[in-house]
Amino acid sequence: MKHTRFKIGFVRGSLLAAFLLMITSWMYIFSVEDADFLRLFSEKNKQFTIEFLQNLAGIGVENPAFTNAESWKSAAVLSFKTLVMSVMAVGFATLGMLLTVIPAASTAASGMLTLSRTRYGWFIYGFIRLFYTVSRAVPELLWAMIIILILKPGILPGAIALALHNFGILGKLCAETVEDMDIRPVRSLASSGASKPQIFLYGIFPTILPKFISYIVYRWEVIIRTTVVVGLVGAGGLGHEFKLSMSWFHYTEVALYLICYVILVFLVDLISEGMRKIAQR
């Protein structure tokens, strides 16, 4: 009888590796970095935290912002602007993605999807994919800083910055969806005499639509959270005012903006969840 040698294998190996990593990481944190968690909870830090929370809650503050109708009104306007910025951003990103996604799929470049190979197919594919990579490699914050240098601060540059970063991400995700598509229905449409636009309408569009929608609303969720980050560098909306209030020590305003922000994120999550359910019924 043949003797089978003991093999570690992939699952057992990765479990072992994870275990080793955990031990060495904690050892590094304690011995090399000399971390002291107790120091985080020192009397001084505790005092600061309590003071900050009291300021946020408006204890001992005359006329805190969140009891003031006027402040609520301006916060609501800001929230709406932020929402508009996020919708614009996801709209621009989607538009850019839709215009480029088909030639950015390798199945289209090789001629498998469109059933006709062109000499420049791979060239366009490489060009768009490079464009995607560059645009998503630069974070939203950097895009915002660059664009605000060119345009005036406001909602539009914020939306463009967010759109640029998300265009690269959406493009990659959606192009991969197109690549993973079953091409048998497409070939069959072609052999029953459908032209390219007809093939796109009847074969490709209905197949990829649910996935596209779920990617787009997912990126929208991310974008609404990131609006604050680009706001910090002057792109308008809640994030911008948040930063100003912070630097003027208007803590009750900070609290008000945080409340608005949480409501906004919650709202967008709710809508996107609903859209995803409809798309994948």
Q: Which residues are within 8 A (CB) of 216 and not within 5 positions of it... i.e. 6 or more apart?
A: 90, 94, 170
Contacts with other proteins by CB under 8 A lie at 182, 184-185, 187-195, 197-198, 201-203, 206-207, 209-210
In angstroms, give the least distance from the CB of 195 to other proteins. Answer: 7
Nearer to other proteins, 75 or 186 (CB): 186
The CB-of-272 to other proteins minimum distance in angstroms stands at 20
Which is nearer to other proteins, 5 or 184 (by Cβ)? 184
Residue located via tokens 């229905």: 185
Nearest to 185 by CA among 173, 200, 171: 200
Nearer to other proteins, 189 or 255 (CB): 189
Shortest Å, Cβ 275 to other proteins = 16
| Cβ at position 117, least distance to other proteins in Å | 15
Q: How far is the CB of 114 from other proteins (least distance, A)?
A: 13
Separation CA 25–CA 187 (nearest Å) = 53
Per the structure block, which two tokens stand in for 255? Answer: 């609290």
Distance of CA 15 to the CA centre of its chain: 31
Nearer to other proteins (CB atom), residue 209 or residue 263: 209
Q: CB-wise, 45 or 188, nearer to other proteins?
A: 188
Nearer to other proteins, 5 or 281 (CB): 281
Rounded to 5°, angle at Cα 122 from 121 and 125 = 90
Instruction: Identify which of residues 36 and 182 has a Cβ nearer to other proteins in the complex.
Output: 182
Least distance to other proteins, CB of residue 218, Å = 20
Output the smallest distance, CB 207 to other proteins, in A: 6
